């Protein structure tokens, strides 16, 4: 190492160690790249062709779900279409033996990474490792845990692993565990409950860990679960303070702020005087983290630059190595540079108590090379079957074959050692801007993993509680005040709690509101679009500032849980901003086509007095959406909210006034649909009606509005968004983890009271039974209770009448089909226990009528095509969903499944303004979708002015 008197050249040492590692490692190839035959050829090709790689991995992802060789052949051909491998593989796979060979081949690749969960297989693996020599950490990998039974199964698998370790008296026993797999509800919105549920199962595991003196390594999961993982880890330390086990936790270097958080963890170990093992990894969910952040509009939690991550990893290695005896570092990497750095650092400090960790099946030559340096190696050994481990397998395959894969660069590309060992050189990482769509952004949902967000929301609930019982008088300028007709607004979860007293309009008062609107319209229509848009944007900003309080009102008045309430307010803000932008885009006069001597101009003009009749289920988003679109277009609006959500409507009206909107340009007229709603619809001075609600009322409005009444000067425009009987098709090859979780939230989120909710599932025969069983088990894990308590996902329905109506539907269902599952609910409040019916005949009423509650009808289909026919055999056409992995079925659905919003391999609720414009056809609506580019124009008409500018043969110069 040169002259010892000089300051040791640390980089030189890193290179020296690295060169030695590379030299030793070069003598063999990782077993994955050694594969011959079908598997070897496919992987070799996949390395060179990015698209083929994606196609192959998508195929592999589907494989566990495919039962027959015919299905395998069909999928393989579909995925490989257009690739050079396709011909050979497709032909081969079409023959039954070869399809079996494909399955076997993929299984062999899987076995490269995943060890069978049986005592002999584990023993064999350990024996193999002892020859390196290396020790192991076992990890039972698996599918998503969606029910208590699945969490129990995960616990059992871990107990079995511990039993194997105990029987074989394994040295340095170590078990890796995923906390989110110990409960079906590991939810950051309910940290205490989540922690309690996990702890209940950990308590069964811990005696075995203690008896073995083992390390329990808590895996880190996606970023938004990190605080919950850390809190639960701390609770585990509190609960099991003894020195008879070693607690371990993973830290990911790709997270922004990771070194600071690692520092806190080290401090905590010192404070507790507790030894902790910290496994340092770079992080395995980079793509997922970026996609999740982009979709939610949250800042990216991960570093964007790979070199930055590598540099941060090295900083964290230093932090761990300088941390002292309380920390036992486990450095997990397959990157020669990162490992050389750690080994060099450890040598410099003469550190012995640490280890290198590597994944089973990855970079074995490097593992041997590291072992030869005398550092302890621990191999992380995932166990489980192919079906359970598929997500894990795909991650590893991607990792090994990607261009940036260090394993690939080291062994296949044989890059220059100097390049492989160069210190990471972070580029100027571009802080990427969120993707802007014409200057419009969706307001991000609140991140309830942050305690500040939860505290602010809880405080808003208290603020709102203090306002219970207030009066909400009518505010119609010039209206005669008689004996006020007051309606009490009660909480669906606590019907005896009066939230407020809302004055209802009489017909003469509503008539006065129309007169006000007529007068206001004359001025408002001339206000430039810029000013109208500016007012709406001020209102949006105000709403953003009051976001928690408005959502808190929804929690009490409409019984929405925290997330649903927050999402509704966010959507309302989006509507205000989106339609403001639309108004600007529509603008003023535009030229259609002008000729010399002829000028032709067109302008969109508002229609006039517009009545907005809203439902209660999205109390702010729908009311604010219809209203702001009509206002943006220049109409004077009268809002008639649903009686079950009148307080939220009052808050919105007050907010518009505060934003500076003239009081008579947008008035609130509370009252019953039957009297006030009908009166407004029929009023001859009303030019447009925007209605969202049930089909029955919508059809009635369309009929009434089409009648010409004395004094009426125009044909009324009716914009209707009505109900749905939305179907999700579950294809035979569907990913059950996704299909179950997403169907669950689509069907039972907000107690099924969404127009977009799934109320039919059509499952293809071969998957039907497994799907239904898992769905019911997963639903059974939901907790029911008042929505102000974030522990509960599922709350009451909106009213006593709704409860009676839905219960009647359930009785109908009992007569028509087989009740497969019924939940339990509290006695107080308007709760309806969710129900799943199976063996539902397509002609049954529960298969055809909108129920608007937590009732799901499951139909069985022989094939995907038949499922599609059944889905389409319906009067409604609002939303629909498909879970399938066969490209041809997805394509078929795209073309034939004609509903307003079709969702593929995802939940069918939660449309975002400007991204998924929302609305249906058939009996579901009049067509042009809300939150889309054409919506505002429905509240307008076009007018053209054509002028002959020719004067006795003279064309004015500017037009010549």
State the catalytic residues: 721, 755
**Closest distance to ligand NAD from the beta carbon of 808 (Å):** 16
Which residue number, 732 or 925, has a Cβ lying nearer to ligand NAD? 925
Cβ-Cβ contacts under 8 Å for 567 (sequence gap 6 or more): 445, 910
Regarding 503 and contact with ligand NAD (CB under 6 A), the answer is: no
Which residue number, 106 or 666, has a Cβ lying nearer to ligand NAD? 666
CB-based contact 365:28 (threshold 8 Å): yes
Regarding 869 and contact with ligand NAD (CB under 6 A), the answer is: no
Which residue number, 361 or 919, has a Cβ lying nearer to ligand NAD? 919
Task: Tokens for 833, please give them.
Answer: 């226990």
Regarding 674 and contact with ligand NAD (CB under 6 A), the answer is: yes
**Closest distance to ligand NAD from the beta carbon of 332 (Å):** 49
CB-based contact 375:343 (threshold 8 Å): yes
Regarding 340 and contact with ligand NAD (CB under 6 A), the answer is: no
Going by the DSSP 8-state scheme, the letter that residue 925 receives in this structure is B
Q: Which of 47, 453, 573, 642 binds ligand NAD (CB under 6 A)?
A: 642
**Closest distance to ligand NAD from the beta carbon of 507 (Å):** 13
Regarding 613 and contact with ligand NAD (CB under 6 A), the answer is: yes
Listing DSSP states for 56-124 in one string gives HHHHHHHGGG--SHHHHHHHHHHHHTTSHHHHHHHHHHHSHHHHHHHHHHHHHHHHHH-B-SSHHHHHH
Regarding 749 and contact with ligand NAD (CB under 6 A), the answer is: no
Regarding 624 and contact with ligand NAD (CB under 6 A), the answer is: no
Long-range contacts made by residues 49-57, C-beta under 8 angstroms, separation at least 24? 49/83, 50/403, 51/83, 52/80, 52/83, 52/84, 52/85, 53/398, 53/401, 55/79, 55/80, 55/83, 56/80, 57/394, 57/397, 57/398
SS3 label, residue 378: strand
Phi and psi at 71, nearest 5°, equal -65, -40
Which residue number, 155 or 705, has a Cβ lying nearer to ligand NAD? 705
Which residue number, 282 or 695, has a Cβ lying nearer to ligand NAD? 695
Regarding 830 and contact with ligand NAD (CB under 6 A), the answer is: no
**Which of 645, 692, 702, 698 is closest to 668 using CA atoms?**
645
Task: Find the helix or strand (DSSP H, E) in which 19 lies.
Answer: helix 10-25
User: Could you say which residues in the range 257-276 bind ligand NAD, by CB under 6 A?
Assistant: none
Regarding 722 and contact with ligand NAD (CB under 6 A), the answer is: yes
Which residue number, 389 or 673, has a Cβ lying nearer to ligand NAD? 673
Regarding 922 and contact with ligand NAD (CB under 6 A), the answer is: no
Task: Find the helix or strand (DSSP H, E) in which 638 lies.
Answer: strand 636-640
Binding residues with ligand NAD: total (CB under 6 A) = 33
Q: Which of 582, 692, 759, 879 binds ligand NAD (CB under 6 A)?
A: 692
Q: Which of 354, 616, 652, 821 binds ligand NAD (CB under 6 A)?
A: 616
Regarding 700 and contact with ligand NAD (CB under 6 A), the answer is: yes
Q: Which of 71, 721, 735, 901 binds ligand NAD (CB under 6 A)?
A: 721
Closest residue to ligand NAD: CB criterion: 673
Q: Which of 165, 189, 686, 701 binds ligand NAD (CB under 6 A)?
A: 701
Which residue number, 340 or 513, has a Cβ lying nearer to ligand NAD? 513
Regarding 932 and contact with ligand NAD (CB under 6 A), the answer is: no
Q: Which of 925, 936, 939, 940 binds ligand NAD (CB under 6 A)?
A: 925
Q: Which of 612, 614, 631, 690 binds ligand NAD (CB under 6 A)?
A: 614
Pairing type for strands 609-613 and 598-606 reads unpaired
Regarding 697 and contact with ligand NAD (CB under 6 A), the answer is: yes
**Which of 224, 158, 227, 146 is closest to 185 using CA atoms?**
146
Regarding 681 and contact with ligand NAD (CB under 6 A), the answer is: yes
Q: Which stretch binds ligand NAD (CB under 6 A): 122-130, 425-433, 582-590, 610-618?
A: 610-618
**Closest distance to ligand NAD from the beta carbon of 617 (Å):** 5
Regarding 693 and contact with ligand NAD (CB under 6 A), the answer is: yes
User: CA-CA distances (angstroms) from residue 594 to 262, 587, 667, 956?
Assistant: 68, 19, 41, 13
Task: Tokens for 686, please give them.
Answer: 């009303």
Q: Given the structure tokens 């191999």, which residue do they identify?
A: 379
Task: Tokens for 823, please give them.
Answer: 């939940």
Size of the chain, expressed as the number of residues it contains: 960
Regarding 673 and contact with ligand NAD (CB under 6 A), the answer is: yes
Task: Tokens for 753, please give them.
Answer: 């009271």
CB-based contact 818:858 (threshold 8 Å): no
- Count Cβ atoms below 10 Å from residue 492 Cβ, excluding itself: 26
Q: What is the 3-state secondary structure (H, E, C) of 456-519?
A: HHHHHHHHHHCCCCEEECCCCCCCCCCCCEEEEEECCCCCCCEEEEEEECCHHHHHHHHHHHHH
Regarding 61 and contact with ligand NAD (CB under 6 A), the answer is: no
**Closest distance to ligand NAD from the beta carbon of 673 (Å):** 2
CB-based contact 745:907 (threshold 8 Å): yes
Contact positions toward ligand NAD, by CB under 6 A? 613-618, 622, 640-643, 673-674, 677-678, 681, 692-694, 697, 700-701, 721-724, 755, 850, 852, 878, 919, 924-925
């Amino acid at each position: 190492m040169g002259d010892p008197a000089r300051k040791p050249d640390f980089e030189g040492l890193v290179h020296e160690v690295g060169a030695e590692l590379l030299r030793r490692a070069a003598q063999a190839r990782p077993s994955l790249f050694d594969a011959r035959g079908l598997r070897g050829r496919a992987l070799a090709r996949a390395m060179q062709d990015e698209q083929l790689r994606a196609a192959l991995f998508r195929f592999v992802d589907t494989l566990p779900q495919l039962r027959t060789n015919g299905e395998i052949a069909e999928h393989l051909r579909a995925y490989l279409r257009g690739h050079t491998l396709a011909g050979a593989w497709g032909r081969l796979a079409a023959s039954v033996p070869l399809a079996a060979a494909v399955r076997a081949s993929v299984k062999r690749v899987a076995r490269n990474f995943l060890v069978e969960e049986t005592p002999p297989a584990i023993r064999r693996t350990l024996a193999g490792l002892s020859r390196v020599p290396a020790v192991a950490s076992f990890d039972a990998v698996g599918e998503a845990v969606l029910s208590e039974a699945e969490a129990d199964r995960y616990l059992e698998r871990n107990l079995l692993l511990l039993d194997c370790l105990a029987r074989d008296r394994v040295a340095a026993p170590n078990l890796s565990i995923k906390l989110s797999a110990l409960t079906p509800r590991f939810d950051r919105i309910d940290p205490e409950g989540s922690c309690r549920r996990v702890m209940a199962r950990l308590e069964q595991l811990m005696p075995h860990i203690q008896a073995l003196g083992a390390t329990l390594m808590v895996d880190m999961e996606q970023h938004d679960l990190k605080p919950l993982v850390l809190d639960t880890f701390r609770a585990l330390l509190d609960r099991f303070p003894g020195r008879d086990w070693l607690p371990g936790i993973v830290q990911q270097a790709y997270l922004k702020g990771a070194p600071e958080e690692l520092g806190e963890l080290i401090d905590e170990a010192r404070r507790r005087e507790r030894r902790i093992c910290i496994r340092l990894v770079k992080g395995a969910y980079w793509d997922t983290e970026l996609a999740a952040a982009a979709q939610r509009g949250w800042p990216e939690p991960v570093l964007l630059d790979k070199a930055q991550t590598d540099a941060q990893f090295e900083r964290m290695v230093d932090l761990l190595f300088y941390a002292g005896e309380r920390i036992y570092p486990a450095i997990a990497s397959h990157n020669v540079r990162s490992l050389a750095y750690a080994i060099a650092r450890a040598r410099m400090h003469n550190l012995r108590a640490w280890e290198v960790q590597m994944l089973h099946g990855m970079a074995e030559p490097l593992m041997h090379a590291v072992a030869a340096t005398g550092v302890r190696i621990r191999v992380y050994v995932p166990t489980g079957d192919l079906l359970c481990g598929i997500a894990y397998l795909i991650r590893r395959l991607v990792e090994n074959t990607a261009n940036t894969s260090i394993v690939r660069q080291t062994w296949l590309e044989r890059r220059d050692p100097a390049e492989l060992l160069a210190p990471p050189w972070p580029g100027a990482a571009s802080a990427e801007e969120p993707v802007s769509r014409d200057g419009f952004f969706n307001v991000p949902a609140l991140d309830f993993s942050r305690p500040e967000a939860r505290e602010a929301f809880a405080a808003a609930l208290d603020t709102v509680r203090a306002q219970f019982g207030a009066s909400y008088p009518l505010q119609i300028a010039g209206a005669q005040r008689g004996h006020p007709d007051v309606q009490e607004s009660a909480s669906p979860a606590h019907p005896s709690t009066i939230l407020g007293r809302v004055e209802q309009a009489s017909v003469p008062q509503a008539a006065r509101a129309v007169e006000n609107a007529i007068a206001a319209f004359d001025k408002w229509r001339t206000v430039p679009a810029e000013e109208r848009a500016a007012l709406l944007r001020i209102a949006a900003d105000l709403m953003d500032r009051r976001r928690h309080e408005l959502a808190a009102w929804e929690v009490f008045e409409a019984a929405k849980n925290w997330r649903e309430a927050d999402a509704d307010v966010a959507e309302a803000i989006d509507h205000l901003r989106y339609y403001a932008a639309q108004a600007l885009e529509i603008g003023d006069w535009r030229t259609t086509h002008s000729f010399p001597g002829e000028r032709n101009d067109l302008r969109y003009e508002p229609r006039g007095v517009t009545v907005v009749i809203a439902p209660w289920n999205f109390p702010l988003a729908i009311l604010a959406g219809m209203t702001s679109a009509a206002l943006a277009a220049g109409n004077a609006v009268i809002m008639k909210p649903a009686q079950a959500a009148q307080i939220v409507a009052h808050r919105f009206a007050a907010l518009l006034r505060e934003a500076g909107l003239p009081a008579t340009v947008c008035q609130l007229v509370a009252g019953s649909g039957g009297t006030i709603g009908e009166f407004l619809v029929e009023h001859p001075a009303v030019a447009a009606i925007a209605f969202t609600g049930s089909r029955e009322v919508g059809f009635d409005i369309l009929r009434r509005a089409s009648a010409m009444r004395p004094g009426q000067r125009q044909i009324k425009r009716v914009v209707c968004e009505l109900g749905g009987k939305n179907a999700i098709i579950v294809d035979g090859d569907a990913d059950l983890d996704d299909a179950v979780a997403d169907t669950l939230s689509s069907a039972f989120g907000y107690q099924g009271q969404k127009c977009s909710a799934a109320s039919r599932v059509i499952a293809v025969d071969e998957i039907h039974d497994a799907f239904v069983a898992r769905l019911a088990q997963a639903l059974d894990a939901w907790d029911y209770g008042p929505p102000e308590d974030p522990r509960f996902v599922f709350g009451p329905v909106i009213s006593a009448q709704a409860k009676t109506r839905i219960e009647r539907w359930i009785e109908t269902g009992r007569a028509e089909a087989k009740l497969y599952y019924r939940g339990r609910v509290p006695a107080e409040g308007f709760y309806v226990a969710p129900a799943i019916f199976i063996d539902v005949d397509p002609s049954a009423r529960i298969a055809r009528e909108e129920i608007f509650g937590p009732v799901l009808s499951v139909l069985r289909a022989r094939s995907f095509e038949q499922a599609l026919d059944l889905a389409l055999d319906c009067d409604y056409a609002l939303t629909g969903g498909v879970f399938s992995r066969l490209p041809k079925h997805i394509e078929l659905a795209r073309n034939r499944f004609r509903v307003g919003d079709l969702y593929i391999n995802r939940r069918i609720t939660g449309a975002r303004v400007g991204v998924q414009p929302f609305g249906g056809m058939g009996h579901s609506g009049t067509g042009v979708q809300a939150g889309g580019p054409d919506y505002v124009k429905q509240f307008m008409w076009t007018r053209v002015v054509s002028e002959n500018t020719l004067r006795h043969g003279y064309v004015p110069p500017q037009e010549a």
